[in-house]
Every structure is written in C-alpha cells, then in structure tokens.
Structure 1
C-alpha cells in the first residue's frame, strides 16, 4: 500500500505454521537468516559462502551484488515485496493499457464516472469491499518474513470497546502498518479477537482507478474525518462501532522526512486531531510503536540539504503529501534501489488509554484533550523505555517528540 498516509490524524513462521508466542506476539521469523551479508555478519548469522561472494562482487564494482545461489524462498520474498512496493505503478499500467483498448471504453467510462462522482465506499464505513480471503493469503506471510516482521501486544483489548490505533513512526512506506493491520500475516485477529481493524490512507489514493478496488479489498479506507467517524460509529457488534478499530499513521508526510535509520523522531507534539476524534466517538487510544520502520530505507538528510527540504515542505503544503529522496537495496544488489532493506520490524501495541465520549463538539474540554494527549505520549515513552534495548540496540539517539 502506498506510504502516503494521514498528515493530520495520522506469528512465528516456521515450516508454514504460525503460533502465538508466550510473550503475546505473532511473528514471521524463519529459522534461517533473511539479512543481507553485511547485516548477517553483524548479527553473527552469515553463511561464509554468501559473505565471500558478496564481498568479492563489491570489490569488483563498488556494489554488493546478490549471489546467484540465493534460495528460492528468499527470491520469492523479494518478488512479493517488490510487487507491493510497486502496487500503484502496476495498477496504473493496467489502467493505461486498458484505455488503449477501444473495446473496454463502454465499461471504462461509466466506471471512471462512478468512482469520481458517486462512490462513497472509501468513506461510508460499511466495509462492503473488504475481502478477508485476500487479506489472509499466504503471500502476506511471505511478505512479512522478508524483514522479518513481528506483532507484539502489551495486553488484550476488549471487543466491547472501539479503538484508535496510532502508528509510529511513519517511515518511508509504512511497511509495518500494512503487514500488521491490513493483512493477517502477523496474526492480528488471534492477538486481538473480536476487533475489526481498518488501516487508513489519504483520500486521494481512492481516485486511482483499479488500485482503489484493491485497497478496499485489503480493508483500507480513507483517513478523512467523515470516514473515521463512520467507521467508529456504524457497524460493529452494537451497530454503533463497538469492536471496531482504525489505524492512523499520526506523523504523516511530515514525519516521513525525519525517517532516518537508528533514530526515532516523532511529529506528535501538536497533533491532537486524533485525540479529538477519540473523544467525539468514544474510542480508546492505543499507541503503536514500530521498532525498525525507520531502518528500512536511507534518505537525503534535511539538515545536510536545506534547499531540498524546503522544496519537499512546499510540495507537502500544496499537495498534502511529500516525496522523501530515499534509497535502499535493489532486486539483484544490496546497495542501490527502492526495495527496503531486510531489517527486523517489531511492532508493539501499547496499553489502551480509556476515553470518555463527548458528542457535542462545541463542549469538548480542551484540558481533557491535553490530558489524553499527555497520557498517550507517556505510553509511547513507556514502550520505548521497555523495548529499546531489545529492538533498538543500534540506535544512535533516543526517542524525540517534536512538533
């Protein structure tokens, strides 16, 4: 799914079987290592043959080329992640190819009119396009095992409540958010039975022909206010949203510009729209901290290239999103390309923060909003303190909350 997520609001796999570990987590970690040669040496898991071959290739060309003897499993993981990374490009290619076929026009024109003027599927909150079969396909376990990714919970969530999951950090493409909350690869429904979670993205993504149908089938919805309120006040076990949850990437496009490896800088201090949404709908707040999300890509640092940063901010202000200048690895090499690095993703779901509903927007207490926001930040800090030595061993800085 696209990484252009909200700007304002913002398990163990082994031999094909998944089990929930005793620590309340679900993972997709295979017995064999999935890291690049240099990273494998760092973690003490490298195979001597692959390491020697990659090093020899780097000495010849300056780029570490993938060895030819990489197993089929790793090749398959790379292919699935590549397809996910290029999802929008793939669907746009199919769309333009369809446009070039005159026989498709009688079907294509009404479809375009419908999605442009009449369709309310991304904001209605009825989840009619959601396909649990597609969300549970084995390819998503292959996708998650590429990193590998794991989902951890601090405590169970009651299915008699509704929730707003705040995902941090945004990263470049938010791979962890997709794996954890848009698929069943990490066992969300087993860790949180009775909770129907919907990952949210920019409304503009649902204007892309064909891609929007795929996004809706994966259970993704618009992050607009209308969509959020409909999801949390309609449907569910009581017809008023109970047992439902939405996941918002709080930091949005602004935070993606701070996605630097081994650091965690969250744009959160003045982000209170999601807290107000929780108070209006009576949804409890659930902080989510994704260790490793920022490690998946390298990007041009804003402090080293201020002019580029200003241009990126200008694009964000005009179009609602921005494009980080990033790179990672390629399909056949470990140094150049748009594929994410094979680095562990550990997504930790924090404790829920109870919220008392106040339906009248004109009477919402600002002090109560500030109180909930402070509790939310404290829970994020608790998650960082609790897990940083296990999941952020290579950090170069501590958690930083900025505007």
Structure 2
C-alpha cells in the first residue's frame, strides 16, 4: 500500500515536472516568436526603411554650409518664386495701375537684346559667393585677355542647367573681373526667360541677355572689352549630361563661329570640368523611348526636360538640388579671328578646326587633374 502511494506520488511529481517543462518551453517559444515578429515589424516600419536608405543631413551642419545650400536652393527656385510673387501682387487691387504700367513697359523694353542692365554691385553680392562655394566652383585662367577687342566665349559642356556658366559669367563669385579686367561678360540665355515678370529684371541686372542673333551683334558692336558667353551645346547637349562623361554637341554649331568672324571677335573656348557630375540622369541612350520622347518635346517647345535628380535639402541621396561636386571652369587661350563681313563656309570650317583643337587641348591638359573619375574621353557626338 505504501509502495502504491509512493509510486503515485512519484507519478504526480513527474507529471508536474513535465508540465513545468512544457510550460517553460511554450513560454520560451512564445517569447521567441514574439521577438521575431517584433523585429520583423520594426524592420518594416517606414521610418526604419527611410533611415536605412536615405542619408539625412546631420543637425550639426556649419552655418556657412547652410548658407551655401540656401543660396543654391533659392536660385534654383527663383523662377517659381518670382512668378508666385507677381501673382500675389496682382491680388492687391491698389497695385493694379502699377502692374499694368510694368507689363506695358516690359513689352517695349529692349534691354534683353541690348546688353541688359549690367550692375557690378548686384553681381558682387555675397549670396553669389555662397552659391559658388557650394560646389565649389572655381575659375582657372590660361592666358590674359587684353580689353582692346571683343570676345566670344564658348562654354562646354552644357550640363543639366549650366551652374558653372552662371557662377562665372553672370556673377563675380569666381572672380572673373579681377582675372580679366576690362572685359564685360554677358551670359546668353533663351529669350523666353525675359517674358517672366521680376525674374527677367534679376537676369538683366546680372548682365544676362537674349541669345538671339540680334542680341549677340548688338553687344559685340559695343567694341573693345565687350564679350558674350554662349553655352554652345544648348538643350540638345543637356540630354548627354551624365556623370563621368564629356559628350559635346558641337560639330553642327556654326552660328557662334560665323558671328565671331563677322565682328572680328576673338574666340575663347571654355571647358567646365565637373559640370556633368553635379546631377544624375535617367539612362537615355539614343534609340530608347526616353530619348525619342525628349527630342520630340524639344522640337515642340524649343527646350528639353532631362530626367535628372540630385540631392535634397535635408538628405544627400535624392532631390533636385545639385550634388556638392567640384566644378573647375578653365578659360582657354584666345583664338585670333580675322574679320570678314561675309565669311565663306570654308572660313567657318577652318575656324572650327582651330576651336576644336584648342578645346581638345584643354581637355587633354587637365583631364587627369580635374576629371580623374571619368568614364570615357571627350567626344563630339553631333
């Protein structure tokens, strides 16, 4: 009887022990499963995904760098800012008479084709220095340019927007006037930009003018020291603006050469190392549907829309702000041009050979210094 009682007691203890083990096992399994689910759901949270893929700007950014970013962002948004400001002013009835007078004056203002309203003080404002220091953009001079003759600067490559051209020829942020005293540069852009209220006046005070034939002639007719800068590749070349490349649209661009010969203006090739590196662009090789769509858009509207991206205001990965990558604008040696009122096609092609040779020399001289991460060599594609 005692043995039966002991056996029963042992059985109860064993069952109790097994039950405890089972409970602990279930508890451990449940805890482990809970941890796994918790980890899985945590990794799927949007904030966690963003933190994993986007490199956000730290809070402790030096004030100077913030000012540089603000300068570039403000200029990039200047067109919509001025348009919004204009419509805001239009909502105030008291200002309507002044607005009507301004619009009438705009229609009769010939400044875009007569040298603009070049304002040295406006070009030297500190905000432009912040703009150039963002990349940074620097100017390298190869030869002096005596102010006893007019000049035609050919800027290459166009890039997505041409930030280096703006910094060098529309502002004093890279020290153009100190390096080339007596030369008055005028960066040229599409005439349509001067149809935008307020924005046009900012351009004109920077000395920016229309790229029309009439505008170019009027500026060069001013004589010694007058200069124009033409971004030769234009909208077509912006479609080839990929980091690490230097594909130029130049072979069929003869208008600026003919212009220089007619006015006896020296030609000065300018190559901007790094201009194509400040934005990334969607692959759009010739023959793809993307390229075809962009070319059709260009034919319809006169300009094109590269599908590009850079960094953001608060992150380093994605946005419409350009990357902080160095831009070095090399101003080459001037090419003396013999003045002819009606240059022949042979004269133009001969001048083009000299121009391309000088541009190629600039590339070969500085490519190992300023284009160390290039994917391929300079190429004239059209």
TM-score computed with the length of structure 2 as normaliser:
0.86
1:131 deviation in Å?
Answer: 1.3
Question: 2:123 matched to 1:124?
Answer: no
Match of 2:98 among 101, 107, 112: 107
Aligned to 2:292: 310
More helix by share: 2
Whole-Å Cα distance in 1 between the matches of residues 114 and 255 of structure 2?
20
Q: Decide whether the 8 Å contact of 1:281 with 1:357 is kept in 2.
A: yes
Aligned to 2:69: 78
Match of 1:352 among 331, 334, 337: 334
Whole-Å Cα distance in 2 between the matches of residues 303 and 223 of structure 1?
28
Match of 1:377 among 342, 353, 356: 356
Question: 2:246 matched to 1:264?
Answer: yes
Higher relative contact order (CA 8 A, sep 6+): 1
Q: Decide whether the 8 Å contact of 1:288 with 1:348 is kept in 2.
A: yes
1:305 deviation in Å?
Answer: 8.1
Q: Write the deviation string for residues 173-196 of structure 1: whole angstroms up to 9, x where unpaired.
A: 111001111111111111111111
Mark the runs of 5 or more structure 2 residues left unpaired by the alignment.
1-46
Aligned to 1:94: 85
Q: Write the deviation string for residues 240-259 of structure 1: whole angstroms up to 9, x where unpaired.
A: x1111100000000000000
Change (3 A) 1:57 1:173: farther
Whole-Å Cα distance in 2 between the matches of residues 145 and 397 of structure 1?
27
1:57 deviation in Å?
Answer: 8.5
Q: Give the secondary-structure state (helix, strand or coil) at the position aligned to 2:71.
A: helix
Match of 2:126 among 127, 138, 143: 138
Q: Give the secondary-structure state (helix, strand or coil) at the position aligned to 2:330.
A: strand
What number of residue pairs does the alignment pair up?
A: 336
Aligned to 2:147: 159
Change (3 A) 1:82 1:299: same
Q: Give the secondary-structure state (helix, strand or coil) at the position aligned to 1:386.
A: helix
Whole-Å Cα distance in 2 between the matches of residues 336 and 104 of structure 1?
41
Q: Decide whether the 8 Å contact of 1:57 with 1:65 is kept in 2.
A: no
Q: Write the deviation string for residues 249-271 of structure 1: whole angstroms up to 9, x where unpaired.
A: 00000000000001000000111
1:103 deviation in Å?
Answer: 1.3
Whole-Å Cα distance in 2 between the matches of residues 304 and 349 of structure 1?
31
Q: Write the deviation string for residues 139-174 of structure 1: whole angstroms up to 9, x where unpaired.
A: 111111110111001100111011000000000111
Change (3 A) 1:328 1:356: same
1:60 deviation in Å?
Answer: 2.9
CA RMSD of aligned residues (A): 1.5
Aligned to 1:237: none
Q: Give the secondary-structure state (helix, strand or coil) at the position aligned to 2:357.
A: helix
Q: Give the secondary-structure state (helix, strand or coil) at the position aligned to 1:310.
A: helix
Mark the runs of 5 or more structure 1 residues left unpaired by the alignment.
1-55, 235-240
Match of 1:247 among 229, 232, 241: 229
